[in-house]
Amino acid sequence: MAQQPTEIKNPAAASKDGGNAKLRPFKVVRVEKTDAPEGGHGREWYRYVLDSGRSTITGQRCGSRKDVLAYAAQCADQLNARGLTGQSIWSPRGRKPASTSST
């Protein structure tokens, strides 16, 4: 029995902004059942697709459809936090505190 992919509609990502540099957030657009990758263990594997209108990210994960959808949504949130604030949760960039040495 074949399962249909979960498709999430995103009309905002489909619209063109005419060259506007406005950032578009990543959204989960698809989760579909797939075969395990070479060397992969586990019974259920899913392929997920994140899209921002300008970039597409595809990944695979083992687990239930619900767990993979939650993981993909978390990835999209983390990418959006990095892109919208200029900060990364993986490699924070910012000003270093001023040294307080008294010489």
> Which residues touch 58 (CB under 8 Å, ≥6 apart)?
47, 48, 49, 50
Burial of 90 (0-12, 13-18, 19+ CB in 10 A): exposed
pTM attached to this predicted model? 0.62
pLDDT (tens digit per residue) in 51-98: 999 899 999 999 999 999 999 999 999 988 877 666 555 555 566 666
Q: What are the phi and psi torsion angles at 11 (to 5°)?
A: -65, -30
In angstroms, rounded to a whole number, what is the distance separating the alpha carbons of residues 5 and 3?
6
